[in-house]
A and B are shown apart, each in its own frame.
Chain A
Amino acid sequence: MTDQGRGVWGVRPPGIDDELDDAAVIQLSRREPEQFTLLFRRHAPHIQRYVARRLGPDAADDIVAETFLLAFRQRDRYDQDRPDARPWLYGIATNLIGRHRRAEVRLYRALARTGADPVVEPFTDRVDDRVSASTAARRLAAALARLSAEYRDTLLLVTWGDLSYDEAATALGVPVGTVRSRLSRARSRLRRTLGETNPAALHEESRA
């Protein structure tokens, strides 16, 4: 390892975080493995939220940690032509979520059945046991529970992960056309659930 006065966590000169794209950080981490933690700081907060929304905060801690560990182990195989590592990381996280598919579905079902959502409970002030989820949220939860895993992954990578269609295709390892068709069918399912008797949205501020 060439030495420029580091070797301990985070002793890289400040500013590196802004200068290097993900691919460069990953390349650097091949020689200086500890630099991989830059990638964690960059992307873990968003991935954490994505996973927590699907499985709850406790499970998310573990899955996020494992995502970056698996990524670290695969860093030699990272495609250096991709400056943004998000699709890669979201893909790994999504695979890990897949191992908890039934748990995920159970959480959606619990919300649909009871209106109480164990996933968001830790983040709310509510002290009583009263139901607060809207009917729409409960219907949505039931619909998510019924989507097949592939459709749910695609839909949630795009909406909650903020990935583009291309990025979602990379994350899932499928052609972008597949992402499009899955999304469109998943959306039609949600629309049916939420909208069949849903009057057109009114966004009037005035009654001119």
Chain B
Amino acid sequence: MNEMEELTRFRAEVPDGGTARAEEIFRTALQKELSSERHSAPRFRNRLRELRPAWRAAIAVPLALGLAAGVTVALLPGTAPEHRGGAPGAGPLTATLLADRAAAAALTSPAVPAEQWIYEQTEHTFPGGRPAGGPNPSVQNGWMTADGRLTNGAGVIGDVVVPYDKLGSLPASPAELNKYLRSLDPVANDDTSSVEFSTIMELMLMMVLPPSLEAEMYHALALIPGVQVKDHVTDIAGRAGVAFLLPPTKQSEQLELILDASDYHLLAQASWDNPGNPATLSETAILHQYPVAELGSTQPSTAPPSAAEVIGERIDYSQEWTTRPRPAEQVKPGQWLYRELRAGAKDQEVWATADDSAQAEYVNGTLRVCQRTDPCAAAEQWLMPAGPSFTLIYPRYPRLTPRKAGKALPTLPEYPRPLLDKLNTYGTGCANVRGDCNAVNVAANVLTGYGNYPWLDATWFLALADVPGVTIQHVTDQAGRADIEFGFPALDGVTGILLDAGNYHFAGYVKGGAQTLLLKQALVSGPGVLPGK
């Protein structure tokens, strides 16, 4: 998907029209305008304000809304010297001094692998309150990989993507680093200080930087022209901090990076549209951040991700960027699909609807179509013999109707272990349920039998990676293709799920030692119709 497609999709939920209120405002004002048009040159904007005094307040001056969070900030006039948590005899806290201390603190933290899952609990303020009335500030739990490539509710997403494996080659001299960060910005922007400051801010919150680089980032911050130190800061979580601060400019809000006042670890980032006015504060405070073993876990763990988890994460990433169709483009349940399957040496052509409610194949030259509700269903070998319903796995979109309070759609669990537990509740004929046997069978069923592939939420693969005893192998399947095999120790049913090693598309499964391979799959207009016809 290219950037223009992504942009077209961005906020596509906003519907056309909905102009009733705008038209009312327009007509009322127009009538007033007409009644006085010949007399004077009326001031439209003032007129409009009279009409609806709140109209601008809604977005531009959210003073009246106030903030629940008590944000207390004490900016010492003229940055008067104040000794805080520093070494005895230290002078006024300067940006350089703060950078030295923060860098020293950063160097004491351990490095983590790029694909390590990190649990993060953050607290956010939304400036001016959230239009839909959600809590403000709100606390959010999320997970991200250390390199920031995968996120699930966590991480500050920055726009300057420095791939993690390139971080090591960033300039180590602070001045050079700033120059490099500036060069990442292809759009002419004469406000270099805010570019440098916000780039560093984003990099520090969108990933877990290697300690040495984080240390350099602090040194680089101190070198940015205009950077100040703000002492006696309290973040939205109420913790005492000190901050690097860049005053507001024409291009940018006031930016702050808040560090713990005693040990100088990163606490929060904040931006003020109107410094001092809490209604214009936008802040993200990191309440907790530590490595965990897997997505969804809150138990601290320094165990590196397994090979299967790394593959699961790569699938997640690949889906995010390449294969996930827009919600509106999802295959509808009744859509016919053509499949070419190979079991043993035998190739088979099968037509089925996406939800496998109907199947068709040629028997002795005659197309036989069978609905699940037909008498023939009992004799049919269904692609999707057991598991959750199609709509549970692929909820219907778009959801453009206004929200209805308290009405949640049924969904499957979104984290690996709870998902496995849920999938294990579907009976797939496992005599021995060891090794999440039912869940593995369900996953193979869904991949083979439901027609939305290549889209199956990557969480499923992250879940499969958590099956006890799972292995990852690179194999060549019986069609000669290079695959990655998730191997399972199950005694019953599916013992392997095969994915194309290049694009992670479903390639087949192994059951009873025999491969069933998906050679081809395509949308078609009806049963018996070949692809491209």
Q: Which A positions have Cβ atoms within 8 angstroms of B? A: 9, 33-34, 36-37, 40, 44-46, 48-49, 52-53, 55-62, 64-66, 68-70, 72-73, 99-100, 102-103, 105-106, 109-110, 112-131, 134-143, 145-148, 151, 155, 159-160, 185-202, 204-208
Contact = CB atoms under 8 A, between A and B. Distances in A.
Contact of A125 (B152, B185, B403): B403
Contacts, number: 295
A159 B7 contact: yes
Given A118-B130, A135-B150, A142-B157, A190 B6 contact: yes
B523 A117 contact: no
B187 A106 contact: no
Interface in B134-186: 134-135, 138, 140, 142, 149-153, 156-161, 163, 184-186
A58 B454 CA distance: 38
15 contacts: A34-B30, A114-B284, A115-B153, A123-B13, A125-B403, A125-B409, A126-B399, A139-B161, A147-B187, A148-B187, A185-B188, A189-B187, A193-B160, A194-B3, A200-B322
B52 A201 contact: no
Contact of A65 (B26, B503, B522): B26
B109 interface: no
B483 to A, nearest CB: 11
Interface stretch (B55-63, B73-81, B96-104): B55-63
A44 B22 contact: yes
Contacts of B401: 125
Q: Chain B interface secondary structure, helix, strand, loop or mixed?
A: loop
A75 to B, nearest CB: 11
A139 B13 contact: no
B157 A135 contact: yes
Contacts of A110: 124, 126-127, 282
How many of chain B's residues touch chain A, expressed as a range? 35 or more
A69 B518 contact: no
Which of A116, A117, A207 has the most C-beta atoms of chain B within 10 angstroms of its own C-beta? A207
A160 B16 CA distance: 11
B506 to A, nearest CB: 9
B4 A106 contact: no
Nearest to B139: A129
A36 B30 CA distance: 10
Given A58-B131, A68-B30, A69-B29, 17 more contacts: A55-B59, A57-B131, A65-B48, A66-B44, A69-B26, A69-B33, A112-B156, A123-B14, A123-B402, A126-B399, A127-B405, A129-B138, A135-B157, A140-B3, A140-B7, A189-B159, A192-B160
